[in-house]
Structure 1
Amino acid sequence: MTNNTTTAPAATAELVFADPATLVIDDNVRTDTAIDAAFVASIATGVRQPVYAIRDSEGVVKVRDGQRRTLAAREAGLATIPVYIVDADTVEADDTERTRRRIIDQVITNGDRKGLKGSEEATAVEQLKLTGLSATRIAKELHTSKRKVDAALATATSQTAKDAVDTANLTLEQGMILAGYDDDPDAVDELLEAAAEGRFEHKAAELAETAAARAAIRTQRDELSVQGYASTTTRPSMDQARVLTYYVTADGTSPEPTACTQAHLLAYVRAEWTATCITADGTTVDYDDIDWAVDQDDPESQAEEGWIDPRTITKTDTATATVTWYHTDPDADELQPEWQWRNNNPRRTKPKPDSDQPLSDEDQARKDAESAARKQVIALNKLAVAAQSVRRDALRSALARKTLPKGTSAAVASFQAVTMWRNADLYNLTRQNADAKKIAKDLLGGIDPMEALDTATGERAQVIALAITLAAHEANMPKESWQGGHEYFRSIGEGRTRYLRFLSKVYGYQLADIEQVVTGDLTADAIALT
């Protein structure tokens, strides 16, 4: 009986150290061979994983896997690199088989590679730290930034953050922010929800801006919980409960929370912001006595007579938690509305002055609405400040590039032309915290745009010109922008909308909720407040 099975010849292979300049880069399914400075720096210390190459029938060594390592080694000036060489003739019978094998090898080697998970990277950096290496030394050894090392170390302190960088595909920088809210599960949930929507940076900025209020509310609710009381951060509806001061006891006195059944009480907890203004000599002054119209950037601008110059005071915003008690079952505690008690007991008390009479439902609703409107302005102004911080960080990063985003030159030219035609006054806008020229310099990394243009290439000059226009619009975006444009100048509001939509279209900037109020895509009432 004849055995017709044939056995392929065994591949002849060897591991050698070769001059990268003598190696030929074979055809490759990977067409992007770009290497950056960080990659070259990592290769400069030596190629740790051998490149894979074949030797053809003419003795030419062709790199099949490891072209980027080879190119980086050449750029770093390495004399030799490890190369695993297989003789092609022993495993590839002809050109067709050679091409087929090359493609298969390259797809497999590139497709099977899997980078470290974020949690693994954080743990690795933490372990290096435990060996005694400083964050600066770790950054140097890993050829990365100290900022990233600090982020990894912070992420490593929180299991929640480590899990999230993997499951929610967060960066280590985002993991560091998440780790800072280990004691605030609600904040963690908000951040993860925002991450899924591409709004992580905005939510992080909003949380940072309202951190004091959230902390005050959280502390107050923890204390109430220890005492056995239920609490909420949402004002109860009239169907759910009534404010405790709406009721009186059987003898007509106002009920105290401690005299009521705990199970029937609900504490409505919210934060109140208080502005404290102190002069240089430590005197506390009234906020309304300060001339806030003074241009603090103009030395010649002076406060009106009898008013205080804002440049002479230090303003501090302090958040404190307040509790309003509500009752869910007045009959159980034998309580009744005050007006009802008065009707039932006309002889037991003299009518109180009108100012002491309990408010009607209509008046109480009006009072509550006015109070809510004031709180909304304060809260949304803070969100606008947070959004501005994220937006300007994004602009600084975008304007550091040498060129405009690919394929956007027409959109940029149109945006600049419309701005010059309809909002030319913005270029010279100067007011407190809104000087277009100063903002332009800040967006360009502290470089005066006129000086930058002197040495800029044609494409870089386009970026600088755009920076000047973007700065003009930034000067037109005070924290109150969400309230609308000036009623006599509709173009102001239209300019803000056009600006934000331009950022979204050209740079892929994700608008914050408060910015969507400016564009009209959301209403102010649709934003949940802390």
Structure 2
Amino acid sequence: MTVLEMIDPATLTIDANVRADVQLDKAFLASIKEHGVIQPVVAHRGEDGGAHVLYGQRRTLAAVETKQSLIPVYVVDSLTEADRLAKQVVENDHRQALTDHDRAEAFHQLSLLGVSATQIARKTGAKKATVDSALKVRANDTATAALANGMTLEMAAVIEEFHGDEDAIVKLEQVADQNPQGFDHTAQRLRDDRTRAALIAEATAEVEAQGLTVVDEDVSYWDYKGAMARITDLRTSEGEPLTVEDADAAHIGWSYLGEVRVTYINTDWKAAGFTKPGAARSGKMTEEEKAERRTVIENNKAWDAATIVRIEFVQKLLKAKTTPKGALKFVAQSMGSHGYTVADGLSKHSGFAAELLGATDEYGALTAITSKATAKHETNVLAVVLAGFEKSLSRASWRNPSSTASHYLNQLAVWGYTLSDVETLITDHGNTETQETVNTETSSTNEAPTPGETFEDVRTGEEELIAEETGYADAS
């Protein structure tokens, strides 16, 4: 049963509320002071007989602040604590969007009451993945503090992901504060570094278990002239190849293909009586050459991380309800200027296009997507074109910038993608003309569809022109 009562706001009790920061801005207080509380607060009678606010914490506090004597209150039958909190989340989001911190705190309170993540999602209308992420963040003090300090839930979840790695957390906090647009790239780079370190540590343990010494110097570089040599470069006194058993050390590195590489070595092959066919290497690397090598290594790592972030962005772009602005024009211009790349998207990388659209890379996947009655044809065409461009990129792209790579990356930037530093080596080197510039320059002509036009719009326009021409011929 619900009863409308006029109650002194100072006598209302406000229990635990999902909103951590109650924002009583000047405009809101001025409105309450002048007009009073128009939308009734909702409360229930507690065991003490007092009215406890269910919904309307801000209105109640503003009424007290502006010294309102009475405000309208709907007094309802008591709700369970879990339902009360869940309904507050929904109500507060409708009235004034909750912060990620507020929402995480609400989910946490619900979980403490024994409500499962699935039930929380159902009660509040949140996605299950969001609830899971919020609960993980709330269970970690560092991530919770980051969330309270203004990080988004997604950023705080990354902080939780790197729990225990203080250096990584410091770096993430700095990026979040100084360059939030680059946060995803930094996070992925840290993930890659962590994975690489774990694999190298595993390989190191295996090598040491064989009784071999792990050396830091990579003898495979052209300028190495020390006493060590790879066993693959050595021969016995009889000219026979060496085996792993002839090694007494190993170098553990990271290959160009992104895999752990173990190089087995003999640390003093001359003393061991082995021979090394071919001329000895001579000359030392200059400091410039050493610096260039370090740059290549760092940029290759940065490129690997950026590739993951970039593909994730493209997948999200294609999941949107509508194709991005200017998509049709981008497809048309790509066909005209980068036809081989577009063709590769269909002939060589249709499986990857299906992956970008959320399916798996297998035979017939793209056919299944495009043949659906609900298929989004513009999006599917765009996915094929983007697949061709994405697959045209590699680690060599930043060292040899091309107009094709620049065209692709600049368009992604127009659609909201944040280019990493290594990707800007391509866009800064090549054609930096963005799709927005092209749109502006061609907007006065009728030769291409306007930005945002769909294939359906083009087809409709053609039909209208045909009808007009037919009508004109009949009138003549």
TM-score (norm 1): 0.45
Query: Which has the greater radius of gyration?
Result: 1
Give the TM-score normalised by the residue count of structure 2: 0.49
